[in-house]
């Protein structure tokens, strides 16, 4: 049977269905936007309140029986949706790519415009489900990203300029449900058992290749914990797992693996392999010192088995923004270099 030819036709059907769903979703988001815009205008012009919006909902049900999605609560959300984004036209394409449920979750669970844009861009890029959108917001991904950039070696920045967009400073793996005291084998097995969710946490451009990837050098056998490929960077990514705090000597083994991969596994069209050392904790100053002289494209990140305290992160982020505002605000005085002239 010409299975390949049959699969080609099935693929065409699937792609057509996907485009049709995207078109329907875009039209629905446009409709909700226009309805929200109309309600917002009536509130400003005619003094509509929640009672009037409830009457509108009942009127819609009488005129269009069976039509769903126009409850008083949802109509009010349409108005909030329009008002939140009407001064940000650059986000209109992103809004149309996400389902209404994801848009609502981002709108209701975030406060700052830059935070909304952050989740909108990642959700569309990575094709997150609404469940994953909720997980990432609950896990304070925006706060973690704003407060902690990934720690990259100079070699990694030079060889892969876009690496800081592909990696994180910390990876949330609460779905493993690991006990506070766990072994490296527990961590390894858990990641393999929940590989799909771990790939989602890594990012959509990561593809899994192997666990305990065999490396042979000088007649001796070694095993690399996890091996991935990153399509955006076009290179292999070696991941070594450590269940304790980062130690500078851990980089030596990782660099050894990278050399072996580049000599024996890397294909001619691929870029230099990258090494990710995933530790339970790290001292950022120690990491900075260790990576400053690293000759290989490596980085160090943490894995976290518990959801972070979002309130604490938000408080730290508030302090971060406040310091930035203070640093940018000129003050008068003879001893201040930033004084107005």
User: For domain 148-310, which CATH number applies: 3.40.50.1820, 2.60.120.10, 3.40.1350.10, 3.90.1150.10?
Assistant: 3.40.1350.10
Tally Cβ neighbours within 10 Å of residue 314.
15
Backbone angles phi, psi at 338, to 5 degrees: -95, 15
Beta bridge partners of 237: 228, 274
> Could you list the pLDDT tens digit for every one of the 341 residues in the chain?
566 778 888 888 888 998 898 899 999 999 999 999 999 999 999 999 999 999 999 999 999 888 889 999 999 999 999 999 999 999 999 999 999 999 999 999 998 888 899 999 999 988 899 999 999 998 888 887 776 778 899 999 999 998 988 999 999 899 999 988 999 999 999 999 999 999 999 988 999 999 999 999 988 999 999 999 999 999 999 999 999 999 999 999 999 999 999 999 999 999 999 999 999 999 999 999 999 989 999 999 999 888 667 676 667 666 655 655 565 555 444 444 333 33
Nearest CA-CA partner of 262 in 227, 311, 287, 293: 227
Q: Residue by residue, what is the 3-state secondary structure of the chain?
A: CCHHHHHHHHHHHHHHHHHHHHHHHHHHHHHHHHHHHHHHHHHHHHCCCHHHHHHHHHHHHHHCCCCCCCCHHHHHHHHHHHHHHCCCHHHHHHHHHCCHHHHHHHHHHCCCHHHHHHHHHHHHHHCCCHHHHHHHHHCCHHHHHHHCCCEECHHHHHHCCCHHHHCCCEEECHHHCCCCCCCHHHHHHHHHHCHHHHHHHHCCCEEEEEEEEEEEECCEEEEEEEEEEECCCCEEEEEEEEEEECCCCHHHHHHHHHHHHHHHCCCCCCCCCEEEEEEEECCHHHHHHHHHCCCCCEEEEEEECCCCCHHHHHHHHHHHHHHHHHHHCCCCCCCCCCCCC
Buried b (16+ CB within 10 A) or exposed e, 41-53: eebeeeebeeeeb
Tokens linked to 142: 């925006």
What are the residue boundaries of the structural domains of the chain, listed by start? 7-86, 89-138, 148-310
| pLDDT (0 to 100) of residue 341 | 31
Question: What pLDDT score does 318 carry?
Answer: 67
Altogether, the residues listed in the chain come to a count of 341
pLDDT at 328: 53
- Give this prediction's pTM: 0.69
Q: Are 276 and 201 in contact (CB under 8 A)?
A: no
Per-residue confidence (pLDDT) for residue 337, from 0 to 100: 39
Q: What angle do CA 258, 262, 264 make, to 5 degrees?
A: 115
């Amino acid at each position: 049977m010409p299975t390949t030819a049959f699969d080609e036709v099935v693929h065409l059907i699937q792609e057509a269905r996907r485009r049709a769903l995207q078109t329907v979703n875009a039209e629905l988001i446009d409709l909700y936007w226009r309805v929200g815009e109309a309600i917002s205008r009536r509130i400003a012009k005619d003094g509509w309140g929640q009672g009037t919006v409830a009457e509108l909902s009942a009127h819609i049900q009488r005129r269009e029986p069976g039509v769903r999605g126009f409850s008083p609560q949802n109509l009010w959300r349409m108005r909030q949706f329009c008002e939140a984004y009407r001064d940000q036209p650059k986000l209109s394409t992103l809004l149309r790519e996400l389902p209404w449920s994801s848009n609502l979750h981002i709108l209701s669970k975030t406060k700052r415009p830059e935070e909304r844009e952050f989740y909108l861009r990642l959700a569309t890029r990575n094709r997150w489900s609404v469940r994953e959108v909720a997980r990432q917001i609950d896990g304070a991904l925006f706060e973690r990203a704003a407060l902690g950039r990934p720690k990259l070696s100079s070699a990694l920045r030079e060889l892969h300029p876009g690496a800081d967009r592909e990696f994180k400073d910390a990876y949330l793996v609460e779905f493993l449900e690991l006990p506070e005291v766990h072994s490296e084998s527990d961590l390894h097995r858990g990641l393999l058992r929940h590989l799909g969710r771990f790939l989602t946490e890594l990012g959509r451009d990561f593809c899994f290749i192997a666990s305990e990837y065999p490396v042979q050098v000088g007649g001796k056998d070694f095993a690399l914990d996890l091996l991935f490929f990153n399509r955006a960077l076009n290179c292999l990514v070696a991941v070594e797992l450590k269940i304790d705090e980062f130690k500078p000597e851990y980089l030596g083994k990782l660099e050894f693996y990278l050399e072996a991969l580049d000599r024996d596994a890397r294909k001619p069209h691929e870029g230099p392999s990258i090494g990710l050392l995933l530790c339970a904790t790290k001292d950022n100053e120690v990491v900075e010192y260790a990576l400053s002289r690293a000759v290989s494209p490596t980085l160090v990140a943490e894995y976290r088995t518990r959801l972070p305290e979002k309130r604490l992160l938000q408080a730290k982020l508030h302090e971060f923004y406040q310091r930035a505002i203070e640093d940018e605000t000129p003050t008068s005085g003879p001893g201040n270099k930033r004084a107005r002239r």
